[in-house]
Structure 1
Amino acid sequence: MKKILILLCSVFLLTSCMSIFSSSKQSITFVGENGTTLYDGVNNVKLAEIKEGGSATVKIKKKLSDKTIIAKKEGFKDTPFVIESSFNAKSLWNILFWPGFLIDLGTGKINKYDPVIYNIEMDNKSN
């Protein structure tokens, strides 16, 4: 009985509301020209490449800060843009269990990226 009580207490103490309603990653869709490559602005890691369909979807880990993405394509200027992080209103359910705010804050689930679709427009290098 003692083991069951400890297990139940740990489940309630180590989970939060957003663990139920939200993932720690969010899908972001980029729409642009075929052949455009998307890189993380901080560490220059390739995230995705827009192919024939004209779009690419990437799962990005949620953070408290905004995320910078750089779009690159041969013959075009590199185009940086910012994916804005905003407060996720679903995390207000943590009022019912206040330690959940701390867990959601640490995992980034307290925020979300908005909007989730970005249209990439690039300028020619000749301009």
Structure 2
Amino acid sequence: MEIIQIVGLGLIAAILVLVVKEQKPMFAFLIATFTGIVIFLFLIGKIESVIQVLEDLAERSGIEPVYLKTILKIIGIAYIAEFGAQIVRDAGQDGIASKIELAGKVLIMVLAIPIISVVIETVMKLLPA
């Protein structure tokens, strides 16, 4: 089971970080960051399979590909912003982490505008004139 490997890696890294943090805080940060990247890379294959399933479902249901791609971009921005913010928080920079999260939210809103427009147009067509 992959989750056991991920949790095991996380626990080992956490212990290493605790041991090394007192002597070399920079190495502790690097261990934590490297561990996060390894876990993310481990999950890329899973993410690809989920995206493939979503693309197949969208194709069968007749949803225009541009909407699915936009939604996937939005999800990607959310995950990347969260990942980046957590790494920066680990480095003790909460202010910068908050700015990364804000940037992610703004970019999500920008990408969501076309989808929101279509939803509003659809609702307007359903309402009596």
Tell me the TM-score normalised to structure 1 length.
Answer: 0.26
Bigger fraction of residues in strand: 1
Q: Which has the higher contact order (CA 8 A, sep 6+)?
A: 1
Give TM-score scaled by structure 2 length: 0.25
